[in-house]
Homo-oligomer: A and B are copies of this chain.
Amino acid sequence: MGSVSHIAADTRSPSRTLDGRMAVVTFLSDYGLGDDFVGVCHGVIARIAPQVRVIDVTHGIERQDVRAGALVLRRTLEYMPVGVHLAVVDPGVGSARRAVALRCGDADRLLVGPDNGLLWPAAQRFGGVAEAIDIGASKLRLDPVSASFHGRDIFAPVAAHLAAGTALADAGEPLDPATLVALQLARAHVADHRVVAHVLHVDVYGNVLLDAAPEDLAAAGLRRGEPAMVGRRRVQYAKTFADVDPGELLLYEDGYRALSLAVNRGSAMDALRLAVDDEIVIRPAPS
């Protein structure tokens, strides 16, 4: 058989970047690990660029939740080796949404994925989009291209070829970065000694990520080590989980230097009945 036997190895594959590091594709998606979607993309990359290493960021993004994917891509990117960063959360697959590859202004990181906002916050954080290519009809695609699995047929192969040394300009047709779909994440604001924040994400522990930064709390007069009000609930603005007793709520600077709500050895989501997008008001606790 071999209807995709044309997945030829990119023989120019340098496998190492100029400074001797191994070429890397990082991969984030909402595919989950219960099916073969992720494994097949790994296979396609390995066939095209056998020496390229693939690092899975996560495939646990909530199905078709472009914003959650964009948030995770943005916050994890600085911990990843510089390389090609493949991201697929693509509710519009098969529609007119564009498929793109972007070069960031900082460090020449390359982002590959759908043009639906998923790549946008990460690109903004890394110097903006210096170069954008429409890869929807790329000659680097698999042939045929299915209607529903562009991760395998377009995004993974293009990412693999880029990691193997293909120039970005050769991956498709240039497009105006100003026409890319933007995705603005919510941002807390401070008014009248109160922080009006929003739930950006809830992790598997039930920790609740907010769109507020420690600076916002400081601007509202909140001090670490003192109690705060989150709505009508009193919580400790703590440094670590261990600052509060098991079962107690805390507000803390999480692993990504953003503010989160948590319950020591419990779930803040359950305790506060919060969901993504909920607005919460934080203020100093009355003494």
Query: Which residues in A have some Cβ–Cβ distance to B below 8 Å?
Result: 1-5, 7, 9, 21-22, 24, 26, 28, 32-36, 38-40, 42-44, 46-47, 50-51, 53, 55-60, 63-64, 72, 75-76, 78-81, 91-96, 106-107, 125-126, 144, 146-149, 152-153, 203-205, 239-243, 252-257, 265
Contact = CB atoms under 8 A, between A and B. Distances in A.
A208 to B, nearest CB: 13
Nearest to A203: B35
Contacts of A92: 242
A132 to B, nearest CB: 20
Q: Label chain A's interface by main secondary structure.
A: loop
B40 A59 contact: no
A255 B31 CA distance: 13
B26 A43 contact: yes
A72 B81 CA distance: 30
18 contacts: A2-B78, A22-B46, A26-B43, A28-B36, A28-B39, A33-B58, A35-B60, A36-B57, A40-B57, A43-B76, A46-B53, A46-B81, A47-B81, A146-B253, A146-B255, A148-B252, A148-B255, A153-B255
